[in-house]
Amino acid sequence: MEPAQSPTLPSPDLTDRIRGFLDQPLFAVVATTDADGAPRQAVIWYRLEPDGRILLNSRVNRFWPAHLQRDGRVSLAVIGPDGYSWVGLVGHVDAVDDDPTRALADIEALARRYHPEGPDPADLESYRAWPRITFRIAIERVHDHLED
């Protein structure tokens, strides 16, 4: 099933400050909607791509990926280590990749991003046990709550 997509808009300029913040291995909260319109949230890993899109990856059978496949609109809140600074992003699914090899490579790269000392081998094995899917999110709006 193809995700419902908003019209493609040019990505807003991400300032160096916001890019620097998003380049950190921080946790994000992804907000999607159920088929009945009810909001849902999950805490996830992400990566800012060089082209300004956000990469997300998950097991296929989780709720939020199913929501994004049905309705590509998404909101993310990336929270800083202090719990007070954060960046909000609104966007839409720009690309979906459910190729098993590429989606597995994406989650393994995210694991290395979040565990630079090396991901736990048991975690890597669990990633291989479930089908995965990758989404690339085109950013439409950005708002930040960063200290000056």
Q: Which residues of the chain have pLDDT under 50?
A: 1-10
> In which residue are the tokens 């000392």 written?
117
Closest CA to 88 of 36, 38, 137: 137
Look at residue 148 in the predicted model and tell me its pLDDT. Answer: 62
In CATH, what is the architecture of 16-145?
Roll (2.30)
* Beta bridge partners of residue 144, listed in sequence order: 87
Which residue intervals of 1-148 are DSSP H helices?
A: 16-22, 63-70, 100-114, 121-129
Q: What is the pLDDT of residues 104-143, one digit of tens each?
A: 999 999 999 999 999 999 999 999 999 999 999 999 999 9
Whole-model pTM above 0.85? Answer: yes
**So where are the chain's domains?**
16-145
